[in-house]
Structure 1
Amino acid sequence: MKALLSSKPVLWFLFLFNLAVAAVAPFAVDGGQGLLTSAGMAVVAAGAGVALVQGRGRRTQG
């Protein structure tokens, strides 16, 4: 499961999808629930973005 979640296509999907949801959530859901949803999705998108940037400097061996 770790290999799947750390693959580049999955990280790009997590980054872009969660970033889009984070941008739309405050407008789609009213009140605090929209803000908390946006914040949670932004945290996931940031984590995927950091993993993409860290993986850029690493080279695969094999």
Structure 2
Amino acid sequence: MKALLSSRPALWFLLLFNLGVAAVAPFAVDGAQGLLTSAGMGVVSLGAGVGLLRSRTQRA
């Protein structure tokens, strides 16, 4: 499972999908639930971005 989640296509999907959801969630869901959804998806997106940067530096 770790090999699948650390692959570049999966990380790009996680980054872009979760970033999109984080941007839309406060407008689609009202109140605290929208803000918490946005924050949670933003954290996952940041984690995927860090994973992409780590794999980039390991290749070089």
Tell me if TM exceeds 0.5. Answer: yes
Higher helix proportion (structure 1 or 2):
2
Shift of 1:45: 0.1
Point out the structure with max Rg over C-alpha. 1
| Runs of 5+ unmatched residues, structure 2 | none
Shift of 1:42: 0.1
Aligned residue in 1 for 2:42: 42
Provide the identity percentage.
76
Q: How does 1:3-42 map to 2 (within 5 A)?
A: 3-42=3-42
- Please tell me the root mean square deviation across aligned C-alpha atoms, in Å: 0.4
Tell me the TM-score normalized by structure 1: 0.93
CA distance in 2, matches of 1:4, 1:53: 17
Size of the aligned set, in residue pairs, is: 59
| Runs of 5+ unmatched residues, structure 1 | none
Tell me the TM-score normalized by structure 2: 0.96
